[in-house]
Amino acid sequence: MTASAIPPILLVGCGRMGSAMLAGWRERGLASSVAVDPAPAALAWAGPDLTVVAEPAAIPSGFTPAAVVFAVKPQNAAETLPLYRRFAGPAVFLSIMAGRTIGGVRVLLGDGAAIVRAMPNTPAAVRQGVTVACPGAGVGVAQRALCERLLQAIGVVAWVEDEALLDPVTAVSGSGPAYVFLLAELMEQAAREQGIPPDLARLLARQTVSGSGALLAASTEDAAALRVAVTSPGGTTERALAVMMASDAWPAAVSRAIAAATARSRELAG
């Protein structure tokens, strides 16, 4: 990769997701860029390729980003986004704020803003994320390609034209890592209840979840087929799955959970 693989970026927010994206860009070669974050800890990200400032007024004069990336809490959008209206035009705005619609962001940035809305997830921190993105009206071919490059730096990217799909996407993949971590947490707890020492219980739960994920990623088979392959008739797995797959257990709970998260994503747009 050349030193200019990623053009100048204005990153708004150096929290967990913003810093994960920044790390991915740096691995690919980041041109001189700017990050805005008032938290003192954000200064740790400063370097030859990145100037970190506490407020937009401190952005160096003459800095012209190719993209402005909003990695801030959606609840802060109304007070934060209008401060960046002046970059509308050549720059594309990439928003990873959950629930905030392209239309809602456009109201805050102006009609001339080119906006891409995206939903990544936290495995981005180890470049294993999955992001679904949706281009708004007026996003050019080159602007869309730039957003794809920015998002590919943290994992797999898929695009949809129907923005409404981003609400269930948020519920499935955006929130999904928490569901997996909960599974590992509950498996560890149950192991301890069966008398397994705490350190071993943690190892068994974490490695089983991560190893199964790696197997799923490497396999061409459906998840259901892999499950069946582990389930010997009359064996221990079959007995456990009889509990988990009861009509009032996992199938219903997961469906309700995804529906609840989807509804909350739509509420955040209001």
pLDDT of residue 256: 96
| Model pTM score | 0.91
φ, ψ at 30 (rounded to 5°): -105, 125
pLDDT of residue 1: 39
The two three-digit tokens of residue 158, written as one number: 């898929």
Sequence-ordered strand ranges (E) for the chain: 9-12, 33-36, 50-53, 67-70, 92-95, 114-119, 129-135, 155-159
pLDDT of residue 266: 86
pLDDT of residue 235: 96
Token look-up 């459906």 returns: 222
Which residue stretches of the chain have pLDDT < 70?
Answer: 1-4, 270
**Which domains, ranges and CATH numbers included, belong to the chain?**
9-163 (3.40.50.720), 176-268 (1.10.3730.10)
* 11 contacts 71 by C-beta, under 8 angstroms: yes
* 36 contacts 54 by C-beta, under 8 angstroms: yes
The two three-digit tokens of residue 225, written as one number: 């087929």
C-alpha 37: how far from its chain's center? 19
Residue type, 221: E
pLDDT of residue 99: 85
φ, ψ at 262 (rounded to 5°): -65, -45
pLDDT (tens digit per residue) in 118-163: 999 999 999 999 999 999 999 999 999 999 999 999 999 999 999 9
Q: At 29, is the secondary structure helix, strand, or coil?
A: coil
